[in-house]
C-alpha cells in the first residue's frame, strides 16, 4: 500500500507547510474506534492559514487528470468546505453544499445550491481512510440527480479508500499519499526514520475492512427461514445482541427475559440449568419472545449420533424443538447429527434453525486449535442450508454471506474468567472479526440493572455493525 512516486516541488512545499501548522503529528493518538495510532492528521487547522488554503486549492486542481470535467464542486463537510470554496473562487466553477443535518422543517433539502439534474459534480475531501465519509456526500448528490464519478482528495491515508470508493463508482484523485508525506518528512529531517517505519507498519496492519452487506441484504440468500428471519429482525429492531440467560430458576429466567426483551434479537437459554423447568416455562418464554420480537436459542450443543439426538431434541424434560427457534450441534459426530436433528425438527412441525459449533471461546478448545476442524465443520454445515443457517464462531464470514455467525465470550473491556472463558469486546467481535451476533451472559445478567446493561451492549454491538457496513471502523 505504500507504493508512491516522488512528489513535485510544489507538492513537497505543501507537505512541509502542513507539518509547520501541525496538521500532521506523530506520537500516540486514540482514534474514534479506540485504536492507538502513531500518526494523527487534522486538516481542520488549515482554515486559519489563507495562503496555505490557496496552495491546497491549486494543488488539488493540479492533481486532477485533464479528463476529469465537472460543472459543480461539493466539499465534504466540514473540513473540505473551505477547500472547495477556494477551488470554486479559483476556477469560477459553482459550488453545491451538503447539509450534515437535514432540517425537519422547510425544504428538508440535504443539498443546497443550484442543482442541475444530470450535472456532473466533483466532490472534494480533505482526508480519506476508508472512503465512508465521501460516500455520505456522494449518495445525497446522486439522490438529488447529480452525476458523481470523481473525488479530489488532499491526503489519502492509503488504508483502502481508493479500492472501496472504486467499488461505488468513484475514482479518487489524491494530491498526496501518506507514504509520500512520510518520505518528504524523513528526507527533510522532520521525522525520525524509525517513527516513519512505525507509521508504515501501522497503516499496513490497519487497512479498511471490505464493506459488508447489511443483514437484510443477506437475508434473501438464506434458505433456512429462521436464519432469514433473524437477519431481518436485527435490522428492523436495530439490535445484534443475544443475551445468554444462564440463570437457575424459571422465575429468574422469565424476569430476565422480560427485562432485556426490548433490546435483544435472541435469548439464549440453558434449559438444563433451570432447576424448576416445566412446560409452562417454555410457554411463558414463547409469549415473551412473541411480545418483544426475539428468537429463542436453546444452547444444548447436541453432540451425539443421529438416533440419540432425535430423542434429545424432541423429548425428555425440555422438548426443545417444541419451543426453541434455534438449536446447535457439534460437528464431531459427523453429518448424522444433522440428519437426526432434521428428523426431530420435522416431527415438531415448526421452523427451527441449526447452528454448528465451528469454533469456541474457551482457552485451548480443540475446535479452534486443530487446524482442520473449523473448515470441516463449515463444509458439513453448508451441505444442509435449509436446516443450518450459521455457526457459533469467533469470527464472521464462515460459509459465506448466507451464513450467520454468533459469537459468545463477549464483555466490555475483554479479559476472561477463572475457568477458561475468554472475552472480546463487542467492537472487536462485530467490527474487526466480522461476526454478526454478540452473545453476552454475565456482562448482562450479573449487572445491577440487566436492562440498562443490555441497552449498553446493544448500542455497542450495533455501532460496530454500522461502522462495518460503512467500512470505516478505523
Ligand atoms: O464457545 C462457547 C460456546 C458457548 N458459550 C456459552 O455462551 C455463554 C457465555 O456466557 P458469559 O457469561 O458471557 O461468559 C454461556 O452460556 C456459554 O455456555 C461460550 O461461552 N463459549
pLDDT at residue 176 is higher than 80: yes
Average pLDDT over residues 381-410: 95
The ligand 1 site (C-beta within 6 Å) comprises: 244, 246, 270, 299, 360-362, 392, 408-409, 421, 439-443
Specify the range with the lowest mean pLDDT, choosing from 4-8, 17-21, 91-95, 435-439.
4-8
pLDDT at residue 33 is higher than 90: no
Nearest CA to ligand 1 atom 5: 408
How many percent of the chain have pLDDT more than 90?
Answer: 81
Nearest CA to ligand 1 atom 13: 441
CATH code matching the domain that covers 215-470, chosen among 3.20.20.70, 3.40.50.720, 3.90.1570.10, 3.40.1280.10: 3.20.20.70
* Positive/negative CA dihedral, 232, 141, 128, 75: negative
Nearest CA to ligand 1 atom 4: 408
b/e burial code for range 247-270 (CB count within 10 A of at least 16 → b): beebeebbebbebbbbbbbbbbbb
Judge whether 109 and 146 are in contact, CB under 8 Å.
Answer: no
Q: How confident is the model at residue 321 (pLDDT cuts 50, 70, 90)?
A: very high
> Which atom of ligand 1 has the smallest separation from the CA of 367?
1
Average pLDDT over residues 174-179: 95
| pLDDT computed for residue 32 by the predictor | 53
| pLDDT computed for residue 35 by the predictor | 66
| pLDDT computed for residue 31 by the predictor | 65
> Which atom of ligand 1 has the smallest separation from the CA of 411?
13
Q: Where are the domains of the chain?
A: 9-205, 215-470
| pLDDT computed for residue 105 by the predictor | 58
Q: Tell me which residue of 176, 177, 73 sits closest to 119, measured CA to CA.
A: 73
Average pLDDT over residues 383-408: 95
| pLDDT computed for residue 152 by the predictor | 98
The model's pLDDT over 178-226, given as tens digits with 9 standing for 90+, comes to 999 999 999 999 999 999 999 999 888 877 655 578 999 999 999 999 9
* Positive/negative CA dihedral, 87, 88, 92, 95: positive
Q: Do domains 9-205 and 215-470 have the same CATH topology?
A: no
Residue 276: how many CB atoms within 10 A of its CB?
Answer: 11
**Candidate from 245, 361, 368 with most ligand 1 atoms within 8 A of CB, to mutate:** 361
> Which atom of ligand 1 has the smallest separation from the CA of 360?
1
pLDDT at residue 350 is higher than 70: yes
| pLDDT computed for residue 208 by the predictor | 62
**Residue 244 Cα, ligand 1 centroid: separation in angstroms?**
7
Q: What element of type H or E holds 440?
A: strand 437-440
> Which atom of ligand 1 has the smallest separation from the CA of 359?
1
Residue 299 main-chain phi, psi, to 5 deg = -85, 60
Helices (H), 41-117: 50-62, 81-91
**Cell of residue 321, nine digits:** 424443538
Nearest CA to ligand 1 atom 11: 441
Nearest CA to ligand 1 atom 19: 408
pLDDT at residue 1 is higher than 60: no
**Residue 409 Cα, ligand 1 centroid: separation in angstroms?**
6
Q: Which residues contact 110 (CB under 8 A, 6 or more apart)?
A: 98, 99, 102, 140, 143, 144
CATH code matching the domain that covers 9-205, chosen among 3.40.50.2020, 3.30.450.40, 3.30.1360.170, 3.10.20.30: 3.40.50.2020
**Residue 408 Cα, ligand 1 centroid: separation in angstroms?**
5
Specify the range with the lowest mean pLDDT, choosing from 29-38, 39-48, 370-379.
29-38
* Positive/negative CA dihedral, 384, 390, 394, 399: positive
Q: How confident is the model at residue 168 (pLDDT cuts 50, 70, 90)?
A: confident
Judge whether 473 and 467 are in contact, CB under 8 Å.
Answer: yes
Average pLDDT over residues 259-287: 98
**Candidate from 441, 444, 445 with most ligand 1 atoms within 8 A of CB, to mutate:** 441
CA atoms of 114 and 21, how far apart (whole Å): 35
Nearest CA to ligand 1 atom 1: 360
| pLDDT computed for residue 107 by the predictor | 58
Average pLDDT, the chain: 93
**Residue 234 Cα, ligand 1 centroid: separation in angstroms?**
21
**Residue 384 Cα, ligand 1 centroid: separation in angstroms?**
25
How many percent of the chain have pLDDT more than 70?
Answer: 94
The model's pLDDT over 80-102, given as tens digits with 9 standing for 90+, comes to 999 999 999 999 999 999 987 76
pLDDT at residue 17 is higher than 60: yes
ipTM score above 0.90: yes
pLDDT at residue 104 is higher than 60: no
Nearest CA to ligand 1 atom 6: 408
CA atoms of 270 and 264, how far apart (whole Å): 17
The model's pLDDT over 144-167, given as tens digits with 9 standing for 90+, comes to 999 999 999 999 988 888 987 887
Judge whether 408 and 392 are in contact, CB under 8 Å.
Answer: yes
> Which atom of ligand 1 has the smallest separation from the CA of 361?
1
- DSSP letter string over 370-424? STTHHHHHHHHHTT-TTTEEEEE-SSS-TT-TTSEEEE--B-TT-EE-TTSBEEB
Q: How confident is the model at residue 473 (pLDDT cuts 50, 70, 90)?
A: very low
| pLDDT computed for residue 474 by the predictor | 44
SS3 at position 125: strand
**Residue 195 Cα, ligand 1 centroid: separation in angstroms?**
41
The model's pLDDT over 229-269, given as tens digits with 9 standing for 90+, comes to 999 999 999 999 999 999 999 999 999 999 999 999 999 99
**Residue 350 Cα, ligand 1 centroid: separation in angstroms?**
26
**Candidate from 409, 419, 435, 438 with most ligand 1 atoms within 8 A of CB, to mutate:** 409
| pLDDT computed for residue 171 by the predictor | 95
> Which atom of ligand 1 has the smallest separation from the CA of 270?
16
CA atoms of 367 and 183, how far apart (whole Å): 45
Judge whether 74 and 95 are in contact, CB under 8 Å.
Answer: yes
**Candidate from 374, 410, 421 with most ligand 1 atoms within 8 A of CB, to mutate:** 421
107-to-102, 103, 136 alpha-carbon distances in Å:
9, 8, 20
CA atoms of 265 and 288, how far apart (whole Å): 12
> Which atom of ligand 1 has the smallest separation from the CA of 445?
12
What is Dmax (Cα atoms) for the chain?
80
**Residue 123 Cα, ligand 1 centroid: separation in angstroms?**
47
Annotated catalytic residues are 301
SS3 at position 169: coil
Average pLDDT over residues 289-294: 98
Amino acid at each position: 500500500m505504500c507504493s508512491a512516486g516522488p512528489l513535485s516541488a510544489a507538492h513537497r512545499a505543501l507537505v512541509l507547510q502542513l507539518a509547520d501548522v501541525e496538521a500532521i503529528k506523530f506520537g500516540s493518538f486514540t482514534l474514534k474506534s479506540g485504536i492507538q495510532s502513531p500518526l494523527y492528521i487534522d486538516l481542520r487547522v488549515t482554515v486559519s492559514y489563507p495562503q496555505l488554503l490557496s496552495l491546497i486549492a491549486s494543488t488539488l486542481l493540479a492533481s486532477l487528470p485533464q479528463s476529469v470535467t465537472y460543472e459543480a464542486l461539493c466539499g465534504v463537510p466540514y473540513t473540505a468546505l473551505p477547500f472547495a470554496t477556494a477551488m470554486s473562487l479559483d476556477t469560477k466553477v459553482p459550488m453545491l453544499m451538503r447539509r450534515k443535518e437535514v432540517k425537519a422543517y422547510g425544504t428538508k433539502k440535504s443539498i443546497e445550491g443550484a442543482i442541475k439534474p444530470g450535472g456532473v459534480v466533483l466532490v472534494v475531501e480533505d482526508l480519506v481512510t476508508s472512503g465512508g465519509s465521501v460516500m455520505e456526500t456522494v449518495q445525497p448528490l446522486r439522490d438529488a440527480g447529480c452525476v458523481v464519478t470523481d473525488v479530489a482528495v488532499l491526503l489519502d491515508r492509503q488504508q483502502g479508500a481508493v479500492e472501496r470508493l472504486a467499488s461505488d463508482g468513484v475514482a479518487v484523485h489524491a494530491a498526496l499519499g501518506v507514504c509520500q508525506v512520510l518520505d518528504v518528512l524523513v528526507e527533510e529531517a522532520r521525522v525520525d526514520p524509525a517513527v516513519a517505519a512505525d507509521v508504515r507498519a501501522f497503516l499496513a496492519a490497519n487497512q479498511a475492512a471490505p464493506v459488508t452487506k447489511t443483514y437484510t441484504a443477506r437475508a434473501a440468500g438464506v434458505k433456512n427461514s429462521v436464519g432469514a428471519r433473524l437477519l431481518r429482525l436485527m435490522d428492523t429492531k436495530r439490535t445484534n445482541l443475544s443475551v445468554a440467560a444462564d440463570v437457575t430458576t424459571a422465575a429468574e429466567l422469565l424476569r430476565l427475559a422480560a427485562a432485556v426483551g426490548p433490546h435483544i434479537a435472541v435469548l439464549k437459554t440453558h434449559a438444563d440449568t433451570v432447576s424448576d423447568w416445566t412446560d409452562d416455562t417454555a410457554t411463558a418464554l414463547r409469549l415473551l419472545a412473541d411480545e418483544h420480537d426475539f428468537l429463542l436459542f436453546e444452547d444444548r450443543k447436541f453432540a451425539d449420533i443421529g438416533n440419540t439426538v432425535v430423542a434429545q431434541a424432541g423429548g425428555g424434560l425440555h422438548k426443545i424443538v417444541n419451543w426453541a427457534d434455534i438449536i446447535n450441534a457439534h460437528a464431531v459426530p459427523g453429518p448424522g447429527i444433522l440428519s437426526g436433528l432434521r428428523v426431530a425438527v420435522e416431527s415438531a412441525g415448526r421452523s427451527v434453525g441449526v447452528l454448528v459449533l465451528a469454533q469456541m471461546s474457551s482457552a485451548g478448545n480443540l475446535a479452534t486449535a486443530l487446524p482442520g476442524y473449523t473448515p470441516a465443520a463449515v463444509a458439513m454445515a453448508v451441505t444442509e442450508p435449509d436446516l443450518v443457517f450459521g455457526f457459533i464462531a469467533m469470527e464472521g464470514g464462515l460459509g459465506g454471506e448466507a451464513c450467520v455467525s454468533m459469537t459468545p465470550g463477549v464483555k466490555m473491556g475483554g479479559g476472561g474468567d477463572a475457568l477458561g472463558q475468554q472475552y472480546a469486546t463487542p467492537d472487536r467481535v462485530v467490527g474487526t472479526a466480522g461476526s454478526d451476533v454478540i452473545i453476552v451472559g454475565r456482562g448482562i445478567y450479573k449487572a445491577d440493572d440487566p436492562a440498562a446493561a443490555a441497552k449498553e451492549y446493544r448500542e455497542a454491538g450495533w455501532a460496530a455493525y454500522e461502522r462495518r457496513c460503512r467500512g470505516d471502523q478505523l
